[in-house]
Amino acid sequence: MDPRGESLLHLLVLGKNDKYVEQFIRLSRDVNQLTPGGMTPLMRAVIGGRLKVIRVLLECGARVDCGDFYNKATVFDDLIWYRDRNSYENRDGAIDQTVELMRTHGAKTYAEMVRDGDIEEAP
């Protein structure tokens, strides 16, 4: 843990060097560990647009049902937001493929989670 309470995994998923990240993720005991601020490595990878890292985290059991429910957003909402604002980076369809991959792992938007009764809507 660093002084802010973040694990090495949280820090690595934001880096730009993929050389050791995949191996480290596969060796990690808890790919869903929370920072003091409530962020998982998957949430960090989505915010950073780390598509390859997202795929490995999902393969290793990262939860897709997490998010900032106070602000009415899931990690899936964050990925959709990232895709919609980065059309140039999505020109090869990589972000769309990641959206579909998260869907196959059960990812839902905040609105879908409320609709399906997975969570209660925040005030």
Residue 54: give the domain boundaries. 8-115
The answer to whether position 121 is within a domain reads: no
The answer to whether position 123 is within a domain reads: no
The full 3-state SS of 54-114, as one line of letters, equals HHHHHHCCCCCCCEEHHHCEEHHHHHHHHHHHCCCCCCCCHHHHHHHHHHHCCCCCHHHHH
Give the count of domains, the chain.
1
The answer to whether position 37 is within a domain reads: yes
The answer to whether position 71 is within a domain reads: yes
pTM above 0.85, yes or no: no
The answer to whether position 101 is within a domain reads: yes
* Confidence band, pLDDT 50/70/90 cuts, at residue 12: confident
CA separation for the pair 123, 118 (Å, rounded): 16
- Mean pLDDT over residues 14-35, rounded? 84
The answer to whether position 122 is within a domain reads: no
The answer to whether position 2 is within a domain reads: no
- Mean pLDDT over residues 20-31, rounded? 86
Q: What is the pLDDT of residues 26-72, one digit of tens each?
A: 888 889 998 888 889 999 998 888 888 999 999 999 999 888 767 78
Q: What is the pLDDT of residues 69-120, one digit of tens each?
A: 677 889 999 999 999 998 888 889 989 999 999 999 999 999 999 999 998 8
The answer to whether position 95 is within a domain reads: yes
Contacts 24+ apart (CB under 8 A), 73-78: 73/110, 74/107, 74/108, 74/109, 74/110, 74/113, 75/40, 75/42, 75/43, 75/46, 75/102, 75/107, 76/102, 76/103, 76/107, 76/108, 76/109, 77/109, 77/110, 78/43, 78/46, 78/47
Q: What is the CATH number of the domain that holds 60?
A: 1.25.40.20
